[in-house]
Structure formats: structure tokens, C-alpha cells
Structure 1
Amino acid sequence: MNSLSTVSHCALVTARHGHSEQVGLRLSALVRPALGMPGCLHFAVQRSHGDERLWQVAGVWRDHAAMTAWFKSPGMQVFSDLVQGLLVTSLDLHTFEDAAIEQASAA
């Protein structure tokens, strides 16, 4: 694994019926703090065009250390609060790394 490759995360969050606006507001509050963190290259919260209850929280980070620092930040509490508050029906988190860099360094 090349520790210098960029990494990203994508969280797909489905709001419970009647709570999508509230979920969107809570998730949107993550943007400014994340963008201010060292190593954050991009961060966005988006709502699905096809399903008004589905939200995506996506970030691109300089390296694993930067992304891990965000995962350990107080802002991550919002995900726990949404689940414990029964405001969401599902929350899927995925992380990714740049495969092109991995393939090039193996050649």
C-alpha cells in the first residue's frame, strides 16, 4: 500500500420518512469543519435526485492519516446521533484508495 495515495470515503444515509430535511441539515453541518481539517481535499453532502430520503456524504483526503483524523473528530458524533435518534433507516460507510497509484507502483 502506498501511504501517499489519496483516499476517500462515501457515506450513504437514508432518512426515515418525514425526517429527510432534518437529516440533511445535520449532515450539512459537517461540511465546514471537514473542509478546515488538515488534508481535506474535498468534502460534500448531496441529496439524491431519485430518492429525497437518500443523502451522500463524500470526502477526499490527502492520505489515510488525514481521513482517520476526521473519523476521530467530534463531528462524527452526528452519525451516531442520527442512528440513536431513529432519524435514519440505513447508514453505509465505504472507504476507497487510488488504485491507479497502486497499479503504477507495482509495475
Structure 2
Amino acid sequence: MPMIIVEGWVRMEPGELDRLHDAATAMIAETRKEPGCISYAYGRALEEPDVMRIAEIWEDQAALDAHFKAPHMATFNAALSGAKITGVSVKSYTAEPGRTLLGDD
């Protein structure tokens, strides 16, 4: 089965990312423990400080599907539901193992 890459962004009103910091940090820590999670990260866009970038790699679709049912996903979604979101785009892509372009791994 192919790996799954999830990539996207969420644009929020000023201050919302700061408010969600603890919930997002907890979400990242718990998700990285999940079976099938290869990489999971949120970041702040340098050029748009109110945009949260999302980057995930999953072993397969089954692992991603299980992630959506995880208790910490429900907790994070509850925190996110109160956020003032002005735009969002998150997509998944199937992928084959890649090759290193820079770095040691």
C-alpha cells in the first residue's frame, strides 16, 4: 500500500494560534505515538503568522483512518471548533517512498 501525505494550512484570526498552542502541542505529541505515523508536524507560516501549516506522513490509509478516530483527535477538534478560522485547505496524497534531497536520512 502507498504511504499517505497530508499537507495543508489553516488561516485564523490574529491570536488564535497562540490560544491553540497547548492543544496543538498535545495533539502533536500524542499523534506521534500512533502506529503508522511516520511524521506529524504543525508550524507557523513565516510570511503569514496567523497561518498554521500542516505536514503529515502516514504508513497507509488505515493508519490515517485510525488517527481520525483517536481520542486526542476529538479533543483537538473541540479546541479547534472554537477558533476563528478564515480559511482552510488540507489535502491527502498517495506517495511512494521518497529519496533524500538534503541531509543524512
Unaligned runs of 5+ in 1: 101-107
Q: Which runs of 5+ in 2 are unaligned?
A: 98-105
CA shift for structure 1 position 99: 6.2
Q: Measure, in 2, the Cα distance between the counterparts of 1:25 and 1:57.
A: 16
| Structure 2 residue corresponding to 1:29, chosen from 26, 29, 34 | 26
Residue 29 of structure 1 aligns to a residue in which SS? helix
Q: Does 1:45 align with 2:72?
A: no
Alpha-carbon distance between aligned partners in 2 of 1:70 and 1:17, rounded to the nearest angstrom:
29
Distance 2:61 2:51 in 1: 27
Matched, 1:96 2:77: no
Given that 2:23 and 2:79 are in contact with CA atoms closer than 8 Å, whether structure 1 keeps it comes out as no
TM-score (structure 2 length as normaliser) = 0.77
* Larger helix fraction of residues: 1
RMSD: 2.2
Shift of 1:72: 1.5
4+ long deviations beyond 4 Å: none
Q: In the alignment, is residue 82 of structure 1 matched against residue 95 of structure 2?
A: no
Distance 1:62 1:99, change over 3 A: closer
SS in 1 for 2:73: helix
Cα separation, 2, equivalents of 1:51 and 1:16: 11
**Tell me, what secondary structure is at the counterpart of 2:7?**
strand
Specify the structure having the higher radius of gyration (Cα): 1
Matched residues in 2 for 1:17 and 1:10: separation? Answer: 22
Deviations 1:54-92 (A, max 9, x none): 001221011110011111212222234323x14322332
Q: Any conservation in 2 of the 1:8–1:67 contact (CA below 8 Å)? A: no
Residues 72, 11 of structure 1: alpha-carbon distance in 2 compared, 3 angstrom cutoff: farther
Seq. identity, %: 22
